[in-house]
Amino acid sequence: MDKMQHMVYGIGNPLIDIIVSVEEQDIIDLGIHKGTMALISSQRMEELLQLSKQRKTTYSCGGSCPNTIIALASLGVPATLAGKIGNDENGTIYRERLVSLGVQDELVATDKEMTGSTVILSTPDSERSMNTFLGANRLYEEADVCESTVAGADFFHFTGYMWDTQSQQGAIRKALSIAKQHNTIVSFDLADPFAVGRYREPFLSLIKESCDIVYANREEARILFDNYDPYECCRSMGKLCRTAIVKNGKKGSFICHEGTITAIPVKGPVVPVDTTGAGDVYAAGFLYGRYHHLSIQDCGIIASILAGEIITQRGAQFSKEKAQELRNLLESGAWRSL
């Protein structure tokens, strides 16, 4: 069948992000393992919300896959987001925000749970510790997947966070089956070291059987392949899928495409303001390049440029002004001289 106009389709966890500036001692007092994502109970969420009232706090739409889809839309790539929200104020805010950002909305609302949220604790070294209450996200299921959208998309993007409930897994498996039938390119971001730790074997099978493009940071790759060398991890992952990407922080990234490994330099500051969403925006940059049929190296450079830009600010999304500036940079080709 012909592909629809919605070129990138993402299924993810729509979450209201609550970003709180904290000190190292706060992290210690809370017993949080810095730099990771933890799934929390409603009681723990209440505790963190109390802390947020005493610290500098900002709010935005979030979720790993949504961040990628929002970034793509802001750069002019037609993009659709699917997921589950609550029939509540945060759900309404999320929907309205998506519309204003130009994202096609395939969110499903439920009365059974409230809209999910993430309290992101940001320490002075710019590390962020994410505490997520999934809420309505946990209820996303097979019946919520729009078959025609997956079939009509050029790319289907999802993350490892979708493996935390059976119903979400079922939805992703259904979407993967549709993608396979209709030659939709599958893009998978491992997204979190703890998720890789929990689902290492299923993820290895998933990458080998269903994925075309896979993203991991060095820690996720280390857990997946039991190897501390990001280059070797990239080589190993490249044997499982067509395009394997391992992000190596301040040292750039490696991309293994059809067996050939390319080193991508870091673009942007060595000392970040806030690393929230850097991996999500990297994925958006890479997909932007693939959407425009650029070389693998160019896709990596654009991914690196966008990730370098997002870490100069607080939050995981660009302002409309910054997004327009980046879109102009990419469309004019001026990024090649950076």
Higher pLDDT, 268 or 224: 224
Q: Which helix (H) or strand (E) holds 157?
A: strand 155-159
Model pLDDT for residues 115-163, shown as the tens digit of each residue? 999 999 999 988 889 899 999 999 999 999 999 999 999 999 999 999 9
Give the pLDDT score at 1.
Answer: 45
Domain 8-189+265-337 fold is: UDP-N-acetylmuramoyl-L-alanine:D-glutamate ligase (3.40.1190)
- H-only helix segments in the chain: 24-30, 42-52, 64-74, 89-100, 147-152, 166-181, 193-198, 200-210, 218-225, 230-238, 278-291, 296-310, 320-332
Phi, psi of 186 (to 5 degrees): -100, 125
Is residue 195 over pLDDT 70? yes
Spatial contact of 135 and 14, defined as CB atoms under 8 Å apart:
no
So where are the chain's domains?
8-189+265-337
Least Cα distance to 10 among 97, 89, 98, 96 occurs for 98
Q: Is the pTM of this model over 0.85?
A: yes
Least Cα distance to 194 among 224, 168, 165 occurs for 224
Distance separating alpha carbons of residues 216 and 195, to the nearest angstrom: 12
Spatial contact of 175 and 158, defined as CB atoms under 8 Å apart:
yes
The residues facing 215 across adjacent strands are 189, 245
Give the pLDDT score at 5.
Answer: 55
Spell out a b/e string for 90-110, using b for 16 or more CB atoms within 10 Å of the CB, else e: bbeebbebbeebbbbbbbbeb
Model pLDDT for residues 310-337, shown as the tens digit of each residue? 988 877 789 999 999 999 999 999 999 9
- Which tokens go with 327? 């879109």
- Dihedral, 242, 247, 253, 255 alpha carbons, nearest 10: 0
Q: Collapsing DSSP states into helix, strand and coil, what is residue 103? A: coil
